[in-house]
Amino acid sequence: MKVISYGGGVQSTALLVLAAQGRIDYSTFLFANVGDDSEHPATLAYIRDIAVPFASNAGLQLHHLRRTRRDGTTETLMERLNRPGTRSIPIPVRMANGAPGRRSCTSDFKIKVVGRWLREHGATAHDPAVVGIGISVDEIHRANRRRSEPHEQVEYPLLDLCLRRDDCEKIIESAGLPVPPKSACFFCPFRTVGAWHQLRSEDPDLFARSIQLEATVNRSRAAMGRDPVYLTRYGRPLAEAIRAPADATTEETEDSGCDSGWCMT
């Protein structure tokens, strides 16, 4: 069994095109949706309107997966973050000093969701599935930190082909497709400062929902006697940290922390 972990971003969409062209030997793509209330709407729209029809026309399978509880109900990342009595925060919120906290969002809502699908379709520790991850040469450090699960054998097709992110964009454009936006939860604390300013300017509703989420998390922490945490590294609430567009900075040019390759590809 060979699958691609599809995130809806540039690198994994390039893999979709390469598979359609027969340049890589994959026909199954798995998109683990952390929630329609959590994924950036632009990513969901791209997958629905562009990636799914393209995959279908090319004879490829693109499966849309969600986290499912034992009772059969689904759970989104936003729902977990807003769940009353939650003691741990699954996203890498920033401490007062700007350092990111521990996270379980990628594991719980991406890796485990894909892993469950693989096991349900026959993958085992003795007969693991091959899982292709969309990490390009310019992000090779992310591949070096990736840990494989017992039921999977990880491959990096873009590294094998020596392709960079800009190569991936050209591959997508050559297939007549628009280049997708960067994929991630709209409230991800690993967003760059520039990306936060862009969100505030271009989608104030999502920015307001991010402010609300940060406040909800901190109300829960205050009730437990814990210090506040933040969605940026500035050690203050999002509404104060990201002000007018004129204050935007370009000091950060890359995402600063998600190394697994399951998100932001």
CATH code for the domain of 137: 3.40.50
Q: Whole-angstrom Cα distance, residue 183 to residue 35?
A: 13
Q: Whole-angstrom Cα distance, residue 180 to residue 121?
A: 29
Question: Which residue range(s) make up the domain with 236?
Answer: 2-247
Total domains in the fold of the chain? 1
Q: What is the DSSP code (8-state) at residue 177?
A: -
Has residue 176 been placed in a domain? yes
Identify the pLDDT of residue 142: 83
Has residue 132 been placed in a domain? yes
Identify the pLDDT of residue 245: 61
Has residue 82 been placed in a domain? yes
Has residue 263 been placed in a domain? no
Instruction: Output the CA angle 221-223-229, nearest 5 degrees.
Output: 20
Identify the pLDDT of residue 246: 47
Cα 134 to the chain's mean position, in Å? 12
Has residue 260 been placed in a domain? no
Q: Whole-angstrom Cα distance, residue 26 to residue 136?
A: 17
Has residue 265 been placed in a domain? no
Has residue 264 been placed in a domain? no
Has residue 51 been placed in a domain? yes
Give me the tens of pLDDT residue by residue for the chain, a chain 265 residues long: 999 999 999 999 999 999 999 999 999 999 999 999 999 999 999 999 999 999 999 999 999 999 999 898 999 999 999 988 777 899 999 998 888 888 899 999 999 999 999 999 999 999 999 999 999 999 988 886 556 788 999 999 999 999 999 999 999 999 999 999 989 999 999 999 999 999 999 999 999 999 999 999 999 999 999 999 999 999 999 999 998 664 444 445 445 456 555 566 7
First-last CA distance in the chain: 21
